[in-house]
Amino acid sequence: MPEIQYERSKIVNNMVAEKKQQIQLQNSDFLKLNGDVMEPPLLLAGLNVLVVDDDDDSRFYVTTVLEGDGANVVAVASAAAALEALTKLQPEVLVCDIAMPDEDGYTLIRKVRSLKPDQGGRIPAVALTAYADSEDRVRAIEAGFQTHVGKPVDPTELVEIISNLVAACQSY
């Protein structure tokens, strides 16, 4: 079992390093005419995100990716902690794993959708899960998620999905 944990940590660390390298490459593309470096726009700058995942490595990975793009992230390990954080913090986006002990992501999103809008009932929500076939996608959407993303997810893709989701929900 320790070998598996070590391998998972190694994979997560590699993915985080790749994201940092991508950001550095993107930064090198933003040169002003006078040679000064201009920072690239961060798609998630200032966005408050609640991440729910019972797996420590996954929670760390998603948090690192989102914070690397400017988001303010609160990460919790259970549906119960997510409901408490949602009502207290009023985040702007929910990123949630599906397979969790006690209460799964489907149960959580149904509870969230039963809340009043001022309590977080209309929060844009992303199901981020290893359950990634078309039936799982339909089930996630029917449960109340706006989108469904399979794990593992490319860091740049995750940032773009969240950014697009927020933009789409703000236009309503």
Tell me the mean pLDDT in the region 76-94. Answer: 95
Tell me the mean pLDDT in the region 21-38. Answer: 53
The number of residues in the chain equals 172
Query: Mapping DSSP to helix (H, G, I), strand (E, B) and coil, where does residue 172 land?
Result: coil
Tell me the mean pLDDT in the region 81-106. Answer: 95
Domains of the chain, each with CATH number or no CATH: 42-170 (3.40.50.2300)
Q: Residue 68: what pLDDT? A: 94
Neighbours of 83 (CB within 10 A): 19
> Which range, of 72-76, 111-115, 150-154, averages the lowest pLDDT?
150-154
Q: How far is CA 48 from CA 57, 66, 99, 102, 134, in A?
A: 21, 10, 23, 26, 29
Q: Identify which of 70, 149, 7 has the alpha carbon closest to the alpha carbon of residue 15.
A: 7
| Per-residue pLDDT tens over the stretch 109-131 | 999 999 999 999 999 999 998 88
What letter would DSSP give residue 41? P
Residue with tokens 């944990």: 5
Specify the higher pLDDT residue, 41 or 70: 70
Tell me the mean pLDDT in the region 83-93. Answer: 94
The pLDDT-based confidence of 170 (bands split at 50, 70, 90) is confident
Q: Measure the CA–CA gap between 4 and 43, rounded to whole angstroms.
A: 34
Q: What is the pTM of this model?
A: 0.78
Q: Measure the CA–CA gap between 90 and 65, rounded to whole angstroms.
A: 21
Q: Residue 27: what pLDDT? A: 47
